[in-house]
Amino acid sequence: MKKTKSILVDSFGREHTYLRISLIERCNLRCTYCMPEEGVQLSPRSHLMTYEEIYEIAKTFVAHGVTKIRLTGGEPLIRKDLAFILEKLSSLNIELSITSNAVIIDRFIDTLRHNGVKNINVSLDSLDREKFKEITRRDEFEKVYQNILLLVSEGFNVKVNAVLIKGFNDNEIIDFINLAKNLPISVRFIEFMPFDGNKWDLKKMVSYKEVMEKVNKEFSEEQIERLEDAPSDTSKNYKITGYKGSFAIISSVTNPFCDSCNRLRLTANGQLKNCLFSSSESDLLTTLREGKSIESVIKKAVTAKLKIRGGMDTMEKLKNPQLHSKNRSMITIGG
């Protein structure tokens, strides 16, 4: 008998087993590359998924093959019912993880552990307090740094995400890598990506190649180990011999990993995005609220997924600001 194709397999044969759910559009930081200076138009509260709706939608994805869910935002920790959401999702027998700016994560250690969250990604773009303040528009460096140390000491797997911006923090690349000398963390450098209102400019982006040039200048060939990347990993992973941790580069701009993409994204207002860069969305929340099945909407959205970066398949298209403004700001997508 012919096996029916899963609703999570797209027309290029990519199987989507990883769902990223944004819990909230608001944040306690204001990172310049993520949130436009003037802020974003927030959805009315009634348009946001409740924790029951998040669970219902997640359950459908899991029934069709999702094995990993990452909670993001905005800042997921400022959502008041986070503990309920974690508890519901932890019953789904999936790998549950979270991406956070870690400003208040010390209050959630027990909740995270209790619900089986082991992998935590923390954003930190500078090791200098003043620069941290400049990029996040908030003076929270010390809290974030201490909370990274706390997470490590509490046994969580911590990845530190730094978005590199030329002339701003690219002189800290080696300092970031050295952070992994005594800490068992993975420091991940993310190429600056274009989204609505984030004043993206290719000239501000620090590429994979440029990061490696700095690394090769600082360390000898024998010291730099190329690690094996996990399947569908978006990062290229390295280790400096003798260091407890590792470092990686996420090169979405210069070297996209679309061929092995296994991700789908659900925004806080219940819209399914089949690609981070895609401007099209599918309204799962309204469908659910109308009492209809969301499966056909998911299937249609997955089938419509384009091969590369939501259709921005050339550098020319990626550089076109009109295409960025058709997409959301990152703060309302979730990274």
The nearest distance, CB 99 to ligand SAM, in angstroms, is 4
Applying CB under 6 A, among 9, 30, 56, 233 the residue interacting with ligand SF4 is: 30
d(CA 213, CA 332): 34
The reply on whether position 34 binds ligand SF4 by CB under 6 A is: yes
- Residues within window 143-172 making contact with ligand SAM, judged by CB under 6 A: 161, 163
Interaction between residue 272 and ligand SAM (CB under 6 A): no
- Answer for which of 25, 331, 332, 333 binds ligand SF4 (CB under 6 A) is 331
For ligand SAM, how many residues bind (rule: CB under 6 A)?
21
| Binding residue for ligand SAM, selected from 101, 178, 262, 274, defined by CB under 6 A | 101
Counting contacts by CB under 6 A, is residue 27 touching ligand SAM? yes
Cβ proximity to ligand SF4, 25 vs 281, nearer residue:
25
Span from 6-14, 22-30, 225-233, 244-252 in contact with ligand SF4 (CB under 6 A)? 22-30
169 binds ligand SF4 (CB under 6 A): no
Which is nearer to ligand SF4, 79 or 239 (by Cβ)? Answer: 79
Q: Rule CB under 6 A: is residue 193 a binding residue for ligand SAM?
A: yes
Exactly one of 7, 8, 24, 34 binds ligand SAM (CB under 6 A); that residue is 34
Spell out the residues 6+ positions from residue 127 whose beta carbon is closer than 8 angstroms to its own.
145, 172, 175, 176, 179
- Return the range that interacts with ligand SF4 (CB under 6 A); candidates 3-11, 28-36, 237-245, 265-273: 28-36
Q: Using CB under 6 A, which of 144, 211, 318, 330 touches ligand SAM?
A: 330
Counting contacts by CB under 6 A, is residue 73 touching ligand SF4?
yes
Q: Which residues bind ligand SF4 (CB under 6 A)?
A: 27, 29-31, 34-35, 73-75, 101, 123, 331
